[in-house]
Amino acid sequence: MYKIIDGKAVSAKVKEEVRLEVEKLIESGIKPGLAVVIVGDDSASRVYVNNKKKDCAEVGIISEEYALPAETTQEELLNLVETLNNRNDINGILVQLPLPKHLDEKAVIEAISPIKDVDAFHASNVGKIMIGDYVFLPCTPAGVMEMLKSENIEICGKNCVVIGRSNIVGKPMAMLLLHQNGTVTICHSRTKDLKAVCLSADILVAAVGIPKFVKADMVKEGAVVVDVGMDRDENGKLCGDVDFAEVADKTSFITPVPGGVGPMTRAMLMKNTLMAAKIQNNII
**pLDDT confidence tier of residue 44, bands split at 50, 70 and 90:** confident
Say if 128 falls within a structural domain: no
Same-domain check for residues 145 and 85: no
What pLDDT score was predicted for residue 149?
A: 98
Domain's final residue, options 113, 131, 164 = 113
Same-domain check for residues 253 and 161: yes
Same-domain check for residues 174 and 236: yes
Same-domain check for residues 75 and 143: no
Q: For 96-146, how does the pLDDT look when each residue is reduced to its tens digit (9 = 90+)?
A: 999 999 999 999 999 999 999 999 999 999 999 999 999 999 999 999 999
Say if 150 falls within a structural domain: yes
The percent of residues above 90 in pLDDT, for the chain, comes to: 95
Say if 4 falls within a structural domain: no
Same-domain check for residues 76 and 163: no
Say if 81 falls within a structural domain: yes
Q: For 141-185, how does the pLDDT look when each residue is reduced to its tens digit (9 = 90+)?
A: 999 999 999 999 999 999 999 999 999 999 999 999 999 999 999
Say if 165 falls within a structural domain: yes
Say if 133 falls within a structural domain: no
Q: Which domain holds residue 39?
A: 30-113
**pLDDT confidence tier of residue 29, bands split at 50, 70 and 90:** very high
Domain's final residue, options 96, 113, 130 = 113
User: Where residue 230 sits, what CATH number does that domain have?
Assistant: 3.40.50.720
Same-domain check for residues 173 and 243: yes
Say if 25 falls within a structural domain: no
Q: For 59-89, how does the pLDDT look when each residue is reduced to its tens digit (9 = 90+)?
A: 999 999 999 999 999 999 999 999 999 999 9
Residue among 200, 140, 195 at smallest CA distance from 170: 140
What pLDDT score was predicted for residue 74?
A: 98
Domain's final residue, options 113, 128, 147 = 113
Same-domain check for residues 92 and 205: no
pLDDT, mean over the chain: 97
For the annotated catalytic residues, the residue numbers are 52, 96, 119
Number of domains composing the chain? 2
User: Where residue 46 sits, what CATH number does that domain have?
Assistant: 3.40.50.10860
What pLDDT score was predicted for residue 263?
A: 95
Same-domain check for residues 57 and 143: no
What pLDDT score was predicted for residue 24?
A: 97
Same-domain check for residues 149 and 255: yes
Q: What 3 state SS string does the chain have?
A: CCEECCHHHHHHHHHHHHHHHHHHHHHCCCCCEEEEEEECCCHHHHHHHHHHHHHHHHHCCEEEEEEECCCCCHHHHHHHHHHHHCCCCCCEEEECCCCCCCCCHHHHHHHCCHHHECCCCCHHHHHHHHHCCCCCCCHHHHHHHHHHHHCCCCCCCCEEEEECCCCCCHHHHHHHHHHCCCEEEEECCCCCCHHHHHHCCCEEEECCCCCCCECHHHCCCCEEEEECCCEECCCCCEECCECHHHHHHHEEEECCCCCCHHHHHHHHHHHHHHHHHHHHCCCC
Say if 12 falls within a structural domain: no
HSE, side-chain direction, 13 A CA sphere, residue 258: 6
Residue among 209, 186, 210 at smallest CA distance from 198: 186
pLDDT at 42 over 90: no
pLDDT at 284 over 90: no
Same-domain check for residues 167 and 62: no
Q: For 221-249, how does the pLDDT look when each residue is reduced to its tens digit (9 = 90+)?
A: 999 999 999 999 888 899 999 999 999 99
Same-domain check for residues 150 and 257: yes
Same-domain check for residues 67 and 175: no
